[in-house]
Structure 1
Amino acid sequence: MRAIPVIVAAIALLAALLGWLLYEQLRPPQGMGLSETGPSVDSAARIEIERLRQQIETMQERDSELRERLGTLENDLRELREEGRAGNGGAMGRAGGHPPLGPDAEPRGPNTIRDAYAEVVLIADRRNVNKGLTVAGPRFLEEFLGRPRETLSDRCEPMTNPELRERLVLETVGPIRVHMLQPAVDSLRRVFENVRRADPDLHDRIASSGSLCVRRIRGTQARTSTHAFGLAVDLNLDGTLDLFADGRTQMGLTILADFFHEEGWVWGAGFGREDSMHFEVSRQQLERWREDGRI
């Protein structure tokens, strides 16, 4: 899907060029008025203008085709995930009404749905992806849990808060290994189990880009990162990292975001500086854990 913005930009550029050429050809020479028969356009300019017009129309058709394909893929993935949740044998295994492949079965050819996980797409309605959830900011977290370390830098350093450090666990959760607070690990395990049941292919492609990291938020002087409390994890698909703050993400991460939202986690795609590989526990979830005596 990287081709969509390139095509859109090219269409805009060609349209601007076409407009300029028309203006230059139709504008009368300086100091001369229009003739009685109106301005003329030479043959070479007419040919060039027509070529540009055809290129624009071709690009517009290609842009429409790509957008339609993206919409179809997103609908297919949504339907397959819901089918898996309903207990119909898994989202991937039941596609098109076919029974799931056995362990010795031969693949039926290219798996367009599986390959679509890595497609880079625009994040639709980015500012509302965390609707109903609130980010637990640095000030709230320090009052809620205590400061994880007195001095912070941009580097990951050891946690020095003994009470907070005792609550950390290092465990394998689903397809990754994390170092986080115990309630966060338990919650993350539920997320991955739900993903595994609904979409095992996606589950198997999940990889970690890091969890615990006691540091300040990059670009600030003293704001503590949520990673410093063991309440955040960065994920990627097949080891391919999402580009920071470009307003795009891998389609697989958009699917994962639904599962995290159900468990009360905030998705970094909704931040002012988009960070769609980042997932962190929401303030609402932390307060529920405190009420339950889990944190």
Structure 2
Amino acid sequence: MLKKTLMLAIAVGLTYISGAATGLYADQGEEIVGHPMPKYSRAVQAVETDDTLLLTQDRIDKVKKFFEQNGKDGDRIEVLPEEDRQAYQMRFFAKIQGTERSVPLVKFEEKTPDSNMHPALGELKGLFMMGKHSEVEYQGLENQYKNLHLAYFRQVSDDQGGTVAEGEKIYRKAYDQAHGKANTTAFAPDPNQKARAQDMKKQMQEMKAKGDIAGMMNMAQQFNKAPGQTQPGAAAMDEMNKDTWDLWVKCLEDIAKVAYWTRIEYAASPR
């Protein structure tokens, strides 16, 4: 009886000596317990119902410095191997029975630049390549927004009972204004023609983004040659001639206002 009491006292003592760093299993095996990390003040919740996933407009180097300054003994920041982003994870390390073990505390990441561009910028590029605006106008906007497609966005209501990334919602609104449904449905008296019209419109938009004027002209002519296809052809020509420059510039400006550059994911609710 005395021996059992002594063993229990030792087990309890181990638990209190270890503090928040470790815990004790019923079978006397230890586990690591991470400590809560401080909340990054210049950040917002990506999802309203989740306080562990945050977004900030600060760059990742500034976020990394914050966690370095607020770490505790045993905390260590490691580089995560990611192909398309710069990512770090802070973990708490402790030795248990001679073996070093760790638990994650917080992960933060920022996407790395690539050759892609935001589709709204692609719309402007198409207008420039078609000669509707100057190279100087376009290059200024490209330099300003060339990395906008790398941003993170909060999830907001899509006004239909679901959620959508805030930047995507702004883009969809501009897209509907530039390429409204009226352009695809007014000349679709039957499902087959409607499908062809929608496919044509998609191809026209892709060629417009590339500045392929000859391709757009050819497609419009092909539709005009077919019986009953004059309206799709006319719509194609209208698509080519439309100047939506100001609309897309405003779209990029609005998206940039709600863009965040670093994503922070806590293992537990921050303090």
TM range (shorter): under 0.3
Give the greater-gyration-radius structure (CA): 2
Q: Return the structure number with greater relative CO, CA threshold 8 A, min gap 6.
A: 2
